[in-house]
Amino acid sequence: MTQPLKSKLQGMLEVVYPSVDCDFLAEQLLATMGLAPNADAPPAHQNHWDETDVLLITYADTLQQPEEKPLVTLKRFLDDCLKDTISAVHILPFFPFSSDDGFSVMDYLAVNESHGGWPEIEVIARDYKLMSDLVINHMSARSRWFANYRKRIDPGKDYFFEGNPKDDLSQVVRPRTSPLLNPVQTDDGERYVWCTFSEDQVDLNFANPQVLLEFAGIIRQYLEMGILIFRMDAVAFLWKEPGTPCIHLQQTHELIKILRLLIEHHTPDAVVITETNVPNRENLTYFGNANEAHAIYNFSLPPLLINTLVTGNCRHLKTWLMSMPPAQLGTTYLNFIASHDGVGLRPTDGLLTEDEKQRLINTMESFGGKVSYRRTADGRDQPYEVNIAVWDALKGTAKGGADHWQLARFLCAHTIMLALEGIPAFYIHSLLATENDQARVEHTGRLRSINRSQWPLSQLEEALADPLTHHSKAFRELKRLIAIRRAQSAFHPNATQFTLHLGLQLFGFWRQSMRREQSVFCIHNISPEMQEVALSDINLIGTDRWVDLISGMAVEDMAGSMTLTPYQTVWLSNQHRSGAARSVPQE
């Protein structure tokens, strides 16, 4: 018999708040969300996605048009250029903010007036699955809540986490080099507030159940405005206890379960995605037992994929792929190569040696990239991420420098991402092949600005209309590849995946549809030299007709071989759409 919602919620709350009246707290949460205590649970292990799902990531104001709100401009661009290409759009924080391009939120319930308003958000949400950030770990030091914290009044008085310089903070995992504790003057005297990311981003105090109640109300408004996908920003740091690493604590995982429980009971097809830029094994824990995140960012993919293509060696990428567990039904990976942040280096811990990381850093710096650092527990500064546009990250190789294979290498990277188990996500500047924005870095003084350009719409339209620009070439070909991907049942995010062993210059894997009617062998030349692949090595079944979905070329001789030009990809698919597939990957 299914456990009533209130009873289930109360049990979770008791883990986090053992000294609180959790019966009453559960009632408050359910009332805030508008849920009945005995509300029916949504079906377990349901996939809220399929092979047609492709996500676009963008800031609200990436595209600029004079005398027009950016959200209106964005909607027109989506409709005119991407309506048949993407199914979902992640609009990075569109709320009033004080710093960090939106991630220092001043008011969770308002839309930044310079971007537009809730009506513009709702219009986008009607035509696309809309993903929004839930900036849940911290809030702006210029917010009303924080002003009330300093005045010692509600709402806000006990909403922010305080520390003590005398506390044992030696184990705290830091993503930055800035001070962890910052002194502030309040009406009760000096207090030290906890700032995981910056002095302007003060960590919230979820040990106070009122903060959880506030976020339940925020989530309900987002759902009612049409937001369907929740990106839980920096959620790994949510719960703090001096004397511990203050990352991945049990209470953090329980709070994710609680929020997911509330979200999916309100809107059964809503999706929770956790953003945890940490080593791979730690990242995987955010699936829980298919009861935490529906999807997790595949943070190891960007650095490993870029490293593969600049070294011409897929050993580490292949080893990692073989180690990745298939996601349970109802969960999946979010695959990406670039985002508004840099290319994380922590997710390569245990996957690349320190020398290999340094070689990757040196290569990226030679292509115009910058390096951001974090402070370790022993006070040392270590590289945290490389800030670079993917177009420039793939302009050459570690050994030979820049070359004429930049476009082919760039397309190869995205073709790999498109075919992997999971949902593909394209940062808008990758889809447009935008270059490093060094001028913006100089203007803002922030390294991450290198990949946060703003395009005047007329300039972008001119660049895309000119078939000779690299922007146009990349955009048109990526759209074509996405269209091919969306038509293949073998590319369902939860379809079977099996890694192929084709040497170090050919990276390959096999996908099979969930009903086993389609197989696709995805083979990528990740080197600047021609590569030969014997078809017998991938075990194509001779009774099927095999075609490369990308070029349309048919395989005529099953016993023969295939030559791949530098950075070429083939998606070899059988054309039988009924019955069990008769292709089996080579052991």
Residues that are catalytic: 233
Residue with tokens 């456990």: 3
Extract the runs of DSSP E, i.e. beta strands, from 440-545.
Answer: 455-456, 496-499, 506-512, 519-525, 531-534
Per the structure block, which two tokens stand in for 29? 């949460």
Pairing of strands 546-548, 569-574: antiparallel
Q: What is the DSSP string of 110-156?
A: S--TTT--HHHHHHHHHHSEEEEEE--SEEETTSHHHHHHHHT-TTT
Instruction: Please give the Cα distance from 481 to 476 (Å, whole number).
Output: 9
Instruction: Please give the Cα distance from 198 to 94 (Å, whole number).
Output: 20
Q: Please give the backbone phi and psi of residue 63, each rounded to the nearest 5 degrees, phi first.
A: -100, 130
Task: Please name the helix (run of DSSP H) or strand (run of DSSP E) that holds residue 254, with its range, or none.
Answer: helix 250-266
214 three-class SS? helix
Closest CA relative to residue 107, chosen from 67, 135, 130, 68: 135
Count of H-run helices and E-run strands, the chain: 17, 27
3-state helix, strand, coil in the chain (%, to 5): 35, 20, 45
Instruction: Please give the Cα distance from 518 to 476 (Å, whole number).
Output: 26
Contacts for 2-5: CB closer than 8 Å, 24+ residues apart: 2/40, 2/41, 4/37, 4/38, 5/30, 5/35, 5/36, 5/37, 5/38, 5/39, 5/41, 5/261, 5/265
Is residue 201 within 8 Å of residue 193, measured between CB atoms? no
Angle of the 250-266 helix axis to the 5-16 helix axis, nearest 10: 160
CA angle 129, 135, 139 (to 5 degrees): 150
